[in-house]
A and B are shown apart, each in its own frame.
Chain A
Amino acid sequence: MSATPATAPGRGALSAETGAARAWRWLREHAVNIVAVLVVIYLLVPIVVIFVFSFNNPAGRYNFTWVGFTLTHWAHPFSDSELAKAMLTSIKLALLATVVSTVIGTMMAIALVRHRFVGRRIANFLIVIPMATPEVVMGASLLSFFLILGSPALGFTTLLIAHVMFCISFVVVVVRSRLIGFDRSLEEAAKDLGATPFETFRLITLPLIMPGIFGGAMLAFALSIDDFVISNFNAGTTVTFPLYIFGAAQRGIPVEVYVVAMILFFFTVAAMGLVTWQQRRAERMTAIRPEQEESDIALPGIA
């Protein structure tokens, strides 16, 4: 539309009028976007609070109000030896639980997707039900079990047993979703070219489902290192990072906890970046097939 000088004043008034109307329409059209952005901010606010308060220099024992900026706690995140010990226990526990549950869970996922057998429905049910049980009930029942058996003293072993137990289902779900969206013609091609079943598995199947296994392992690690409820029931006198925080909450949380939480956060973000990168690579590997649409990069752990 070209404006002519004759209509200019009228147009000015009109555009002022439609300006308000347009702003209103823009707001209405973008209302859902605005809400979504607000929700994203809401999701990130506590993380920002943790980050900011990891630089706090509180006067007393409580790190709830802002006093002043300091780098001391970032310079010495493990000055509290109990915190250091708890973190080490947590990492050791999470690594072990991840390895065990990933191996067991991947085996289960392969059996469930690739094989037809009696009891398949029961096996599927067995995997779903722990995910639908509140953690309190799982923790309490496992404690009942250990109490009645009286056998292993509560501690690292019972924690490991519990963590593997609640991680298995999640690993199975993640690996299974990868196996279901799997192009089997590549395996057939390998067989046609004379590969033994084991070679086919090692050279074709395993690399292709690797992103799933990696994602499952990462989820298991995240669940284990963050678990409080089930650990609280079965730890005995062993202290993990979340248990340390819970214990410290009564007497005031040291700022170092916020620092360690942020270190964990950055570490996980980096690990997730790695998984996404690996997934992209695996997708490029299968992308030789022209008819295959480029699928979205799924975030690990989301099934």
Chain B
Amino acid sequence: MAAALRRRSLAYFLLAPGTLWLVVFFVIPLYFMAKLSLDTEIPGTLHYRFVWEWSNYKEALELYDTQFVRSFIYAGIATLLCLLIAYPLAYVIAFKAGRWRNLMLFAVVAPFFTTYLVRTLAWETILSDESPVTEFLHAIGLAPGGHILATGFAVIAGITYNFLPFMVLPLYASLERIDVRVLEASKDLYASAASTFWKVTLPLSLPGVVAGTLLTFIPAVGDYVNAQFLGGVNNRMIGNVIQSLYLTQSDYPAAAALSFVLMAVIMIVVFVYIRFAGSEALMGQEAA
């Protein structure tokens, strides 16, 4: 009895510092931001007062709806591209790389070891007007006017590159867990390579697909570094708006309102997505 009690108090003791830190510096700040989003400015001052000012939300959304929608479109396209690019790589690392496996995994995480902003600057170089990449794309008609920088294409390219490892790693983890004998059984039963992939491999790797798309999509929607460095005025995303409202215009209520809507919409998208994709992912695990 006493031992059980001691054990339980030990658990809470171990848990306390981390929980406290996360509650005080993550949960409570969200509450403060919620409150700030309903503040109104006291005329003539730079101070704000809490008055349930719901119109903050309406005004902010009316002003910045383009950036909002754009963020979700860019992030959606980038996530899809990441999935298409990452799947073959993850597949090869899991099933075919052999002794090259660790080296290829190293290549996947290597971009993380260079500073995020410098990586994005490198893309500014690669996509600049003088670069051979731009000239090549211009020659085959993919870069009208010979420019890539300051277009949506550049921003999506940057996001795709920067978040690609987030897609590869969970895909690899779920593919690697697949029992190769299941794939052999499929072949023994005269399934073609294609139908083995579509009916066995892909369904079994769905948990990785779900995890990867979420890990890519969530940071991509809120990102503003790529839009800042690679995009132009017409490619601003919601992160740019929130950042500039907070840090340069000091319009805290509007910025807080936008942050909240962003978080809420992401949560809804994630929830719907998990409801939709999660059940299949679960069935895939059952089949394993």
- A residues sitting closer than 8 Å to B (CB atoms) are 32-33, 35-36, 39-40, 42-47, 49-50, 53, 63-65, 103-105, 107-108, 110-112, 114-115, 117, 123, 126-127, 129-130, 132-138, 140-145, 147-148, 161-162, 164-165, 168-169, 172, 222, 225-226, 228-229, 232-233, 241-242, 245-246, 249, 253, 257-258, 261-262, 264-265, 268-269, 272, 296-297, 299, 301-302
Contacts A134-B223, A164-B21 known; 13 new A-B pairs at CB < 8 A: A33-B92, A107-B18, A108-B17, A108-B19, A115-B14, A134-B218, A136-B239, A145-B28, A165-B26, A172-B18, A249-B117, A265-B114, A296-B101
**How many positions in chain B have a CB within 8 Å of any CB in the partner chain?**
88
List chain B positions with a Cβ less than 8 A from chain A. 7-8, 10-12, 14-15, 17-19, 21-23, 25-30, 32-33, 35-36, 85-86, 88-89, 91-93, 96, 101-102, 104-119, 121-126, 128, 130, 161, 164-165, 169, 173, 176, 214, 218-219, 221-225, 228-229, 238-239, 242-243, 246-247, 252, 255-256, 259-260, 262-263, 266, 270
Q: With A and B bound together, what is the CA distance between A135 and B262 in angstroms? A: 11
With a cutoff of 8 Å between Cβ atoms, the chain B residues found around residue A165 in the complex are 21-22, 25-26
Q: Is A137 touching B263 in the complex (CB atoms < 8 A)? A: yes
Could you tell me if B121 and A253 are in contact, using CB atoms closer than 8 angstroms?
yes
Closest beta carbon of chain B to A160's beta carbon, Å: 11
Please, which residues of chain B bring their CB within 8 A of the CB of A137?
222, 259-260, 262-263
CA distance A253 to B118 in the complex (A): 10
- Contact call B22/A46, Cβ cutoff below 8 A: no
- What residues of chain A lie closer than 8 Å to B256, measured between beta carbons? 140-141, 144
User: Which chain A residues lie closer than 8 Å to B105 at the CB level?
Assistant: 299
Residues of B within 8 A of A43 (CB): 107-108, 110-111, 161, 164-165
Q: List chain A residues, Cβ under 8 A from B169.
A: 302
* A76 to B263 alpha-carbon distance, docked (Å): 44
Q: B113 contacts which of A36, A45, A129, A222 (Cβ < 8 Å)? A: A222
Contact of B266 among A32, A44, A134, A162 (CB under 8 A): A134
A107-B18, A228-B225, A232-B243 are contacts. A148–B161 as well, Cβ < 8 Å? no
* CB-nearest residue of chain B to A103: B17
Residues in B neighbouring A249, C-beta threshold 8 A? 117, 121, 228-229
Which chain A positions have C-beta within 8 A of B111?
A: 43, 46-47
Q: Determine which of B14, B36, B117, B130 lies in contact with A144 in the assembled complex, contact meaning CB atoms within 8 Å.
A: B36
Pairwise interchain contact A168-B126, C-beta atoms closer than 8 A: no
12 residue pairs from A and B, CB less than 8 Å apart: A50-B114, A107-B18, A136-B238, A141-B26, A144-B32, A147-B252, A165-B25, A233-B247, A242-B116, A257-B118, A269-B113, A302-B169
Task: Report whether A46 and B21 are in contact in the complex, using a CB–CB cutoff of 8 Å.
Answer: no
Which of A43, A129, A169, A264 has its CB near the most chain B CB atoms (within 10 A)? A43
Complex alpha-carbon distance, A143 and B111, angstroms: 29
A246 to chain B, nearest CB (A): 6
